[in-house]
Chains A and B, each alone.
Chain A
Amino acid sequence: MEATLHLRVNGQSHRLTVDPATPLLYVLRNQLQLNGPKYGCGLQQCGACMVLLDGKAQPSCLIAVETVQKQEITTLEGIAQGTQLHPVQQAFIDEQAAQCGYCLNGMILSAVSLLKENPKPDEAAIREGLERVLCRCGTQSRILRAVKRASH
C-alpha cells in the first residue's frame, strides 16, 4: 500500500514512503515532524490544520498527500525569513493575541494568505479571511487587531 512520493515543504524537497491516501496533515506532523499544522477536527471545519498550498491557505486534514506533490507547501515553520518573523507572526506577539494558542496556526496562515491577495483588507475582509478558523478561547478580538496591525 505504501508508495514513494515527492513533496516540497517550506522550500525543501522530500522523498517519502507513505500510504498515498494519508491526509497531508499526518505526513507533515509525523513523517516531517512539523508542529505547525494541528489536528482539530479532521473534517475541514476548524482550520487548525491550515497550510499554504501555493501560497493559499487550505486545511490539510482531508487532502490525500499524493495529490499535492506538485504544489509548494508552506507551514507555520516556513513563513519567517530566517530569524526575521513574518509581520503577521510579529503582530500576534505584539498584540498578545493568544490564550491557549491552539488556533494560532490556522489564524496566522489564513492571515498570511489573505494579506498576500489583499495587502490592505478592511475589517470585513479580515473577518472573511479568518472565517474558516475557529477559536474557542475567545481570542478573536485580539486576533483581529493583530491582523490589522500586520496590514499597516
Chain B
Amino acid sequence: MQTSRRDFLKTMGTLTIGFTLPSWVPEADELPGSLQRDPRIRAWLEILENGQIRVFTGKMELGQGIRTAVAQVAAEELSLPLSQVEVVMADTDRTPDESYTAGSASIENSAMAVRYAAAAARQKLLELAAKQWRKPVEELQFAAGTIRWKNKQISWKELLNGKQLQDEVRGNVALKPKGQYQLVGKPMPRPEINRMVRAETWFIQDLRLPGMVHARMVRPPSYGARLEKLDESAVRKQIPGIQKVVVQGSLVGVIATEEFQAMQAQWTLQESVRWTDVQPLPTGTALVSYLKSLPARIERVHEKGQPTGPTTIKAQYYKPYLMHGSIGPSCAIAWYQKGTLRVWSHSQGVFPLRETLHRLLKLPLDRIHVIGMAGSGCYGHNGADDVAAEAAWLAMAYPEHPIRLQWSRDEEHAWEPYGSAMILEAEARLSTAGRIEQWNYTLWSDTYTARPGGDPANLLLARYLDPPIPKKPASSINGGTIRNSEPYYNIPDIAVDAHQFEGPLRVSSLRALGAFGNVFAIESFMDELAEKARKDPFEFRIMHLEDERAIAVLRRLQELIQNERIKPKEGVGIAFARYKNTAAYCAVAARVRVTGNQIKVMNLWSVIDAGEVINPDGLKNQTEGGLIQAASWTLKEQVQFDAQQITSRDWVSYPIFLMSEIPEVEVVVIDRPQEPVLGAGEAVQGPTAAALANALYRASGKRVRDLPLIPAKLKN
C-alpha cells in the first residue's frame, strides 16, 4: 500500500490536470526526495522582492551540473525564465541538510524536493490570490512574478507582503503537466561556464579573505610514522614570514604570511623533522594473494534458488587501487573569529563536515558554519574533508586569522583515500542450450565508504593526533563494496559472497564504488560465457534479460555501431549494467586497436536511459566524461607503493589519459519523460571497463582479467 501511494505521488504530475486532487495527505516519509528531511517550502525556496526566486539545495556543484538542473525544475514549476532563479548551495546556515552529494542521487533527492516545493509554492500563491479576490483558483492565471484574473493583476511580492510562505509541502501538490514543459527536458547551458572562461571567482581556490594567511601541513614518511623531533628554530631562521608552527602529537602544520613562504617552510620541515619510521606496507608477495590472505568479514550477500551445483567455467578478475586524482589539489579556508568557526570547503557534505568538526574540536554546532564552494572535480571522497578539518584545526590554534590551507600535488596523490583494490571470482554453468543455469560470485575488497559522516576517526588527521582517534572496525559489509555484485540477468541459481578485508591503503568512496570492479568482472565474464555458448554478445545478454528498458539500451547500442567497419588489429566489445540495479540503464561499446606495443582506444559509445531527463546536455556531459575517465582508469591506472610509502606521487608516477589518448565518444540518451528520474552520474564506469577488456580480447585474442589493460599483459 505504502509503495503504491508513493509511486502514485511520484507520477501524479503526469496524471493531474488542473488542481483537483485526491483528498489524502501524504505522510512525511512519503514525500519525494529530500522533502522527507525538511518539508517546509521556505527551506527550499524564497520569493524575492523583485519577483525572482532563490532556491536552496544542500547538494554541492561538483561539475555534474546539479545547479542548473535544480534551477530548471524550479523555474518550470513557477513559470519563470531560468535567469530568474538564483541557486544557493550547501551552506550550513542557509540550506537544508541533504547530507552528502553522492551516489548519483542529487536529481532524485534534491531536484525532486525543489520541484515539489516550487509546485507547492505556486499553488499557495494561487490560493492567496483567490482568497484576496474571492475568486476560485481555477479562474486565475499564473505567470512569472504575478497572478492575473481578467485584467486584474497582483505580484507575488504584494501577495506575500514581505513574508515568505510558511507552509509545508503536504498532499495536494499538483505538478505542472509534463506536456507543458518549457525548460525541463531541454538542453540548458550551465551559467557557471561563462564565469569559468572569464576567470571570475568560482573555485574555493580563488577565495581571498582580508588578512588571509597561508598554511601547509608537514607529512610523515609513511601512514604509521610518529613524530620524534622537530626543530622550529631552523625553519624560523631560514624562512621569513613564519607566523606559527602548530604541533599536536604527530600532526604538524605551518602558517606563514605569504604562500611561497609556507611552501618553503613545508619543504624545510619535511627535510628536518625526524620520524620514527615504520614500514607498514606489504611487498614481496603478490598483492592479490596478500589481499586474499587478510582476515575478512565474510557474508553471503545474495542468494537465489539453489546455487550449489557444479560449475563448468571459472575466472578471476582484479581491479587495483585507483585514485580520484583531482586536477586541483584539495583546499580549505578556516577562520576562528570571536568564538565562531567558519570553514569554506569543497566537501561533498557540509553538514556531516560540521558535525565532524563539532566532535573533533568540541565546539558547539551553532558555533560552526561550513560554507560549500566549488572545487576541482572530486569523483567521490577525496582530500576535501581532510583539508577542511586540518584548516579548522590550524584556525583554532591561530585564532582571528583566515587561514588558507592548500594541499600539494604530492599530498593529494599520496594521502587521499583511494578506491579499494578488488578481487572478483566468477563461476557458472551453462545449459546445453547456452543459457546460464547457475552463477557463483565471490568478491574480496576493502570498504568503499569511509566518509567522516560526523565521525572524526575517518579523517586523515585522526591518526596523528595525540592520542589518535581510533577507527571503529566495520560492523557490516559495506553496501558500496557489493554494489552491482548481483548480476542483473535472469539466472535461476545465484550466490554472491563478499569478503571484506581491511587493506593496507587508506580507502573510501571513488565514483561508482564497487560497481566499477563488479561490473568489469561480471560483464567480462558474460563475454567469456557468450563465447562458450557460441552466442553473439548482444544476443547472449538479451536472452538473459527481462527488463524491457535494459534490452532497449542494448538494442539501441547495436544499431549505433552496426555500420562500423572493423579494421584488422581492431576489436569491438560491449557491456551493460543498470547502476545499483535500480538506477540508470547503460550500455557501452568500445573499439580498441592493438599495434606493436600499444593499446589504443579508438571509440567509445554509450546508450543511457536515466528515466525522465531534466537537462539532456548535462546527462550527456556526465556520461561522456565518465566514459573517458573510466577508460583512463582501465588502461593506465593503479596506485603503487613500496614497503614504506605510496610511490604514485605525481602525474608521471601515476599517469592518466593525455589528450592524444582520448577516443572519439558518442552518447545517446533515451529520454523517458513519464518515468521517474534515475541517478546517472556513475552508470557508465563499470560497463566501460568491461567493454574495453572485451574489445581488447577481440583485437588481440588475449583475455586480460587484471586491470589496468597494459600492453605487457598481452605477451606470453
Give the shortest distance, in Å, between B432 (CB) and chain A (any CB). 43
Which residues does chain A contribute within 8 Å of B656, judged by CB atoms?
134, 136
A89 within 8 A of B: yes
Are the CB atoms of A144 and B662 closer together than 8 Å? yes
Known: A99-B625, A141-B664. A46 touches B197 (CB 8 A): no
Secondary structure at chain A's binding surface: helix, strand, loop or mixed? Answer: loop
Are the CB atoms of A140 and B205 closer together than 8 Å? no
Give the shortest distance, in Å, between B65 (CB) and chain A (any CB). 8
Q: Given B63, B199, B200, B375, which contacts A75 in the complex, CB threshold below 8 Å?
A: B199
Interface segment, one of B323-331, B480-488, B492-500: B323-331
A80 vs B189: C-alpha distance when bound (angstroms): 21
Are the CB atoms of A92 and B197 closer together than 8 Å? yes
Are the CB atoms of B197 and A131 closer together than 8 Å? no
Are the CB atoms of B409 and A96 closer together than 8 Å? no
Are the CB atoms of B650 and A43 closer together than 8 Å? yes
Are the CB atoms of A80 and B628 closer together than 8 Å? no
Known: A131-B660, A140-B628. A89 touches B198 (CB 8 A): yes
Task: Name the interface size band of chain A.
Answer: 35 or more
Give the shortest distance, in Å, between B202 (CB) and chain A (any CB). 7
Q: Which residues, 41 to 76 on B, are CB-close (under 8 Å) to A?
A: 62-65
Q: Given B327, B617, B626, B628, which contacts A48 in the complex, CB threshold below 8 Å?
A: B327
Nearest A residue to B212 via CB reads A30
A97 vs B240: C-alpha distance when bound (angstroms): 42
Which residues does chain A contribute within 8 Å of B657, judged by CB atoms?
138, 140
Are the CB atoms of B659 and A131 closer together than 8 Å? yes
Nearest A residue to B622 via CB reads A99
Would you give the 0/1 interface string for A18-34, flagging 1 where the beta carbon is closer than 8 Å to chain B? 11011100100110011
Are the CB atoms of B621 and A99 closer together than 8 Å? yes
Known: A19-B260, A26-B260. A38 touches B377 (CB 8 A): no
Are the CB atoms of A41 and B409 closer together than 8 Å? yes
Are the CB atoms of A102 and B658 closer together than 8 Å? no
A127 vs B145: C-alpha distance when bound (angstroms): 48
Which residues does chain B contribute within 8 Å of A42, judged by CB atoms?
408-409
Q: Which residues, 62 to 110 on A, are CB-close (under 8 Å) to B?
A: 75-77, 80, 85, 89, 92-93, 96-105, 108
Which residues does chain B contribute within 8 Å of A93, judged by CB atoms?
189, 193-194, 197
Q: Determine which residue in B192, B197, B325, B617 has the highest number of CB atoms from chain A within 10 A of its CB, and name it.
A: B197
Number of interface residues of B (CB under 8 A): 60
B599 within 8 A of A: no
B406 within 8 A of A: yes
Q: Given B199, B203, B651, which contacts A76 in the complex, CB threshold below 8 Å?
A: B199
Which residues does chain B contribute within 8 Å of A30, judged by CB atoms?
208, 258-259
Are the CB atoms of B628 and A100 closer together than 8 Å? no
Are the CB atoms of B193 and A96 closer together than 8 Å? yes
A79 vs B616: C-alpha distance when bound (angstroms): 31
Q: Given A26, A102, A130, A134, which contacts B651 in the complex, CB threshold below 8 Å?
A: A134
Q: Which residues, 118 to 138 on A, are CB-close (under 8 Å) to B?
A: 127-128, 130-131, 133-138
B332 within 8 A of A: no
B433 within 8 A of A: no
Known: A39-B205, A89-B198. A128 touches B660 (CB 8 A): yes
Nearest A residue to B378 via CB reads A100
A141 vs B622: C-alpha distance when bound (angstroms): 12
Known: A23-B260, A131-B660, A134-B658. A41 touches B650 (CB 8 A): yes
Which residues does chain B contribute within 8 Å of A92, judged by CB atoms?
193, 197
Which residues does chain B contribute within 8 Å of A59, judged by CB atoms?
none
Are the CB atoms of A35 and B328 closer together than 8 Å? no
Which residues does chain A contribute within 8 Å of B203, judged by CB atoms?
35, 38, 101-102
Nearest A residue to B665 via CB reads A141
Are the CB atoms of B196 and A101 closer together than 8 Å? yes
Nearest B residue to A37 via CB reads B199
Are the CB atoms of B197 and A99 closer together than 8 Å? no
Q: Given B261, B327, B409, which contacts A135 in the complex, CB threshold below 8 Å?
A: B327
A19 vs B627: C-alpha distance when bound (angstroms): 44
Which residues does chain A contribute within 8 Å of B348, judged by CB atoms?
none
A135 vs B326: C-alpha distance when bound (angstroms): 9
A40 vs B650: C-alpha distance when bound (angstroms): 10
Are the CB atoms of B624 and A141 closer together than 8 Å? yes
Would you give the 0/1 interface string for B406-436, flagging 1 where the beta carbon is closer than 8 Å to chain A? 1011000000000000000000000000000
Q: Given A75, A77, A98, which contacts B196 in the complex, CB threshold below 8 Å?
A: A98
Would you give the 0/1 interface string for B559-603, flagging 1 where the beta carbon is closer than 8 Å to chain A? 000000000000000000000000000000000000000000000
A1 within 8 A of B: yes
Which residues does chain B contribute within 8 Å of A29, judged by CB atoms?
259
Cross-chain pairs A/B with CB under 8 angstroms, 28 sampled: A1-B240, A30-B208, A30-B258, A33-B208, A35-B203, A38-B205, A41-B650, A43-B409, A43-B651, A46-B651, A76-B197, A77-B199, A85-B198, A89-B198, A92-B197, A93-B194, A101-B196, A102-B203, A102-B375, A104-B197, A108-B197, A127-B660, A136-B325, A136-B327, A138-B657, A139-B624, A139-B625, A142-B624
In addition to A19-B258, A100-B62, 8 A-B residue pairs with Cβ atoms within 8 Å of each other are: A38-B203, A40-B409, A45-B652, A99-B377, A134-B327, A135-B327, A136-B326, A137-B63
Q: When A and B form their complex, which 8 residue pairs have the shortest distance between CB atoms, in order from nearest?
A: A138-B628, A100-B63, A100-B377, A138-B625, A99-B63, A102-B376, A101-B196, A36-B199
